[in-house]
Amino acid sequence: MESSALPRPVASPLPARPTALLRHRHLSAFRLLPLHSSSPISYARRALSPLPLPLAPCRVKPSLQLVRASSSPSIAAPNPESTPAPSPQPAQGAKPVPLAISLAVGLAVRFLVPRPVEVTPQAWQLLAIFLSTIAGLVLSPLPVGAWAFIGLTASVITKTLTFSAAFGAFTNEVIWLIVISFFFARGFVKTGLGDRIATYFVKWLGKSTLGLSYGLTVSEAFIAPAMPSTTARAGGVFLPIIKSLSLSSGSNPGDRSAGKLGSYLVMSQFQAACNSSALFLTAAAQNLLCLKLAEELGVKISSPWVSWFKAASLPAIVSLLATPYILYKLFPPQVKDTPDAPALATKKLEQMGPITTNEWVMVGTMVLAVSLWVFGDALGIPSVVAAMLGLSILLLLGVLNWDDCLSEKSAWDTLAWFAVLVGMASQLTNLGIVTWMSNCVAKFLQSFSFSWPAALCVLQASYFLIHYLFASQTGHVAALYSAFLAMHLAAGVPGAVAALALAYNTNLFGSLTHYSSGQAAVYYGAGYVELPDVFRLGFIVAGVNALIWGVVGTFWWKFLGLY
């Protein structure tokens, strides 16, 4: 479906190059990032075909241009005789230094740190294995799935956990809901539905650069509840549109012209996306996990989809409206008006043609799934069952096929490592480690005579800033959410406030750095923003979000009766 909508490439002063060569060159922009979550590269690789916009007659650096494989005859195919076969890469094991540090963390806790009398030997040994696993998550001696499996093996071979306890989280409903969400995201990209929706918003709001940014921001918020992958939304929908609009304005990645339009649009979309993810429970995979972990600690959110949206609605909408304007002032584009953008979007929609049958099926399936997520509690239908029903419809009607699901490697990789971390975290809770840690922190905070609002601020800020050490939002949640929630509860913070605030923060810190989330890698890899700007503006917008959510959220949650 996607390839049939590709336009003929516009004539360019650059000679035609083999598609494989272009793909090889553009991926160099992504190799800088140590990712531990589902890799955004697959979305960026297959989703970055430009809109059919007339490109300015400027020379685009081929090393930064992202190109999709195409069957168009105007793109030269690689000659097998002139293209040498790639030499096989030597097998590589674990990186020695990260491996040594990760193992040393666990061994030091197990054999050098005195075990508290309140903690059993089994619990202390599991904590050592868990901390070693988390250290590997940060340092990456091996891919995260491989390292998690080694940690799981260590817990079983040392008889810290039984086999059934170690693998118990593989039947966790939330983890399977996250896996299925990857398949939904693939359906949006494959059918082109997400691209069509975003292009409509460009047509309606794109007469100025600021309006263009608002159009993209609103369109992401619109599709977020039915497309539960920030990485897929970034790489499969919004970055291709931003690149095409930027190139048509003569704004090229990697040179001074990037500041004309592309730098601002990329930064604005990147920073606003975190609020789109925080607005809906089903807008990001980590949201579902947060509420599941909260439930294990006794914090039950009734009608979770509706409760989540009600609590997030006002602060998230205020942040969504403020972010493009603030960045427009702090990081202004050189091009202020884009009068041609609506016409170009209209042309794009004409070339896409009428909505296809597969797009209608995708729309109907997502309406059904979101409706069941909203009203599932009243109907007695769990969220994962609603997702399974939606995926079954897509498979039966041919929108997706089983090969699509099998080739979604990030989904299966997430199932493997995520289940390991969630299982370990759950066992730590059962064995009393989380309670012991939270009581220690609570006593420390009480020594300063902190009230629960002050404790809330200190703990939330700590949870947020620790993300500078993580390259995965879901990994951060699996490692620290339960412990921090228990600390909040021990300090007297109301359960619903603590659970939701931590969950919302999990989305907001996704825009801190170029490695803080999957969408961060996609947007930074486009080549339009410099690394110092990412860190500087990421910190500033984080402060703005903290102010908005802290002030607006405080009054709004009081009005809703959360405390």
Tracing tokens 């060569």 back to the chain, one arrives at: 21
Helices first, then strands: H and E counts in the chain: 26, 0
Taking only the tens place, the pLDDT of each residue in 238-289 is: 998 898 889 888 899 988 999 999 999 999 999 999 999 999 999 998 898 8
Q: What count of other Cβ atoms lies within 10 Å of the Cβ of residue 397? A: 15
340 and 199, same structural domain?
yes
Least confident of 48-52, 240-244, 354-358, 369-373: 48-52
Nearest C-alpha neighbor of 521 from the set 510, 532, 537: 510
151 and 184 Cβ atoms separated by less than 8 Å: no
Task: Give CA–CA dist 111/128, Å, rounded.
Answer: 9
Give φ, ψ of 114 to 5 degrees. Answer: -60, 135
User: 295 lies in a domain?
Assistant: yes
Distance of CA 510 to the CA centre of its chain: 7
> Within this chain, do residues 502 and 552 fall inside the same structural domain, yes or no?
yes
Judgement on whether residues 113 and 229 belong to the same structural domain of the protein: no
The length of the chain is 563
Together in a domain, 212 and 295: yes
Return all residues near 239 (Cβ < 8 A) that are at least 6 apart. 44, 47, 48, 266, 269, 522, 523, 526
Report yes or no on 310 lying in a domain. Answer: yes
Residue 140's domain spans which residues?
A: 96-171
**Does 394 reside within a domain?**
no
This prediction has a pTM of 0.75
* Amino acid identity at 275: N
Kindly state whether residue 480 falls inside one of the protein's structural domains. Answer: yes
46 lies in some domain: no
Tokens of 1: 């479906």
Q: Where are the alpha helices (DSSP H) in 249-340?
A: 262-279, 285-296, 304-330
* Same domain assignment for residues 230 and 159: no
pLDDT confidence tier of residue 145, bands split at 50, 70 and 90: confident
Query: What is the token pair recorded at 176?
Result: 């399977």
513 class by beta-carbon count within 10 Å (0-12 exposed, 13-18 middle, 19+ buried): buried
Task: Give per-residue pLDDT as tens, 323-346.
Answer: 999 999 999 999 998 888 898 889
437 in the same domain as 320: yes
Q: What is the pLDDT of residues 162-177, one digit of tens each?
A: 999 999 889 888 889 8
Same domain membership, residue 348 and residue 273: yes
**104 and 224 assigned to the same domain:** no
Q: Which residues pair with 337 in a beta bridge?
A: 208
| Helix 531-560 vs helix 495-508: crossing angle, to nearest 10 | 160
> Which three-class secondary structure state does DSSP give residue 337?
strand
- Kindly report the number of other CB atoms within 10 A of residue 67's CB atom: 20
Question: Which are the contacts of 46, defined by CB distance < 8 A and separation ≥ 6?
Answer: 2, 68, 189, 236
Is the distance from CB of 341 to CB of 207 less than 8 angstroms? yes
Q: Is residue 412 part of a domain?
A: no
159 falls within a domain: yes
Q: Above 90 in pLDDT, residue 557? A: yes
Within 10 A of 357 (CB to CB), how many other CB atoms are there? 11
Q: Which tokens hold the place of 407? A: 């080739």
Q: Which residues contact 543 (CB under 8 A, 6 or more apart)?
A: none
Helix (H) or strand (E) run with residue 443 in it: helix 433-447
Report DSSP state, residue 235: I
What is the pLDDT averaged over residues 106-119? 93
Domains contained in the chain, number: 2
Mark whether 162 and 206 lie in a shared domain.
Answer: no
Nearest to 393 by CA among 173, 177, 187, 178: 187
Helix, strand or coil, per DSSP, at residue 208 = strand
Q: What is the pLDDT of residue 83?
A: 45
In angstroms, the CA 8 to CA 539 distance is 41
Q: How many CB atoms lie within 10 A of CB 336?
A: 11
Evaluate whether residue 259 is within a structural domain.
Answer: yes
**φ, ψ of residue 254 in degrees (nearest 5):** 85, 5
314 and 233 together in one domain: yes
Determine what percent of the chain falls in helix, strand and coil, rounding each to the nearest 5.
Answer: 70, 0, 30
Q: Which residues make Cβ contacts (< 8 Å) with residue 154, sequence separation at least 6?
A: 129, 132, 160
Residue at a domain's end among 171, 200, 228: 171
Same domain assignment for residues 345 and 201: yes
Q: Based on the domain organization, do 167 and 207 belong to the same domain?
A: no
How far is Cα 504 from Cα 275, in angstroms, rounded to an integer? 9
Q: How confident is the model at residue 93 (pLDDT cuts 50, 70, 90)?
A: confident
User: Could you report the per-residue pLDDT of 471-513, keeping only the tens digit for each?
Assistant: 788 888 988 899 899 999 999 999 999 999 999 999 999 999 9
Domain boundary among 139, 171, 203: 171
Q: Which of 110, 141, 171 is the last residue before a domain boundary?
A: 171
